[in-house]
């Protein structure tokens, strides 16, 4: 099959989520731990901005942009690698497959989501309780109800240990 005929909609399939991510023509598809990435992989071994899939002419190329390793064909990707039909690579423990062909049955197509606003184009804005203009987080009240029971148990244990220590004399 020629490249011109195989030029269907390009997808990156997340093998474990059974989800297909369409690769946009106007910007790179980003993969990483950062919530602003198109595909978020929540693993410590994954860089915040780990890899990108970029369209270069009619081809799609995997660019490793993070400080941790992306693996393709059991080899670390150290430079941009062209993706071919069925190319498979790992980001952390997550397996991704590139395709331009018809998607498997029951494959869910991911829809773009609005990403959180970022401070410097990379990190999401974090707010904590007590900060000015931060929404207060409500804590469950069940922990406060248990406090007298825990305190009573500690008093009984300490008192029993003291009584036992004094009775040995």
User: Where do the structural domains in the chain lie, given as residue ranges?
Assistant: 11-109
Q: Report the phi/psi class of residue 130: left, alpha or beta, with left for phi > 0 and alpha for psi in -120 to 50.
A: left
Q: Which residues touch 45 (CB under 8 Å, ≥6 apart)?
A: 68, 92, 93
**How does strand 39-40 pair with strand 29-32?**
parallel
Residue 95 has pLDDT above 60, yes or no: yes
- 108-146 pLDDT, tens digit per residue, is 888 766 555 454 555 555 555 554 554 454 555 555 667
Range of weakest confidence among 6-15, 35-44, 86-95, 157-166: 6-15
For residues 23 and 10, the answer to whether their CB atoms sit within 8 Å is yes
What is the fold, at CATH topology level, of the domain defined by 11-109? Tumour Suppressor Smad4 (2.60.200)
Question: For residue 82, what pLDDT is reported?
Answer: 92
What's this model's pTM, rounded to 2 decimal places? 0.61
Residue 98 reports pLDDT greater than 50 = yes
Q: Return the ∠ at Cα 72 (arms to 66 and 73), rounded to 5°.
A: 160
């Amino acid at each position: 099959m020629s490249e011109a005929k195989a030029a269907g909609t390009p997808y990156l399939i997340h093998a474990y989520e059974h989800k297909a991510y369409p690769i946009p023509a106007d910007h790179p598809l980003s993969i990483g731990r950062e919530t602003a990435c198109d595909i978020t992989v929540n693993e410590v071994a994954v860089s915040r901005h780990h890899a990108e899939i970029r369209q270069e002419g009619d081809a799609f190329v995997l660019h490793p942009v993070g400080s941790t390793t992306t693996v393709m064909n059991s080899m670390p990707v150290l430079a941009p690698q062209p993706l071919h039909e069925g190319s498979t690579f790992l980001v952390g423990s997550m397996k991704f497959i590139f395709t331009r062909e018809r998607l498997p049955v029951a494959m869910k197509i991911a829809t773009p989501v609005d990403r959180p606003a970022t401070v410097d184009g990379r990190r999401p804005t974090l707010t904590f309780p007590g900060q000015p203009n931060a929404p207060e987080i409500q804590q469950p009240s069940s922990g406060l109800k248990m406090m007298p029971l825990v305190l009573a148990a500690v008093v009984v244990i300490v008192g029993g240990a003291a009584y036992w220590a004094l009775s040995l004399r």
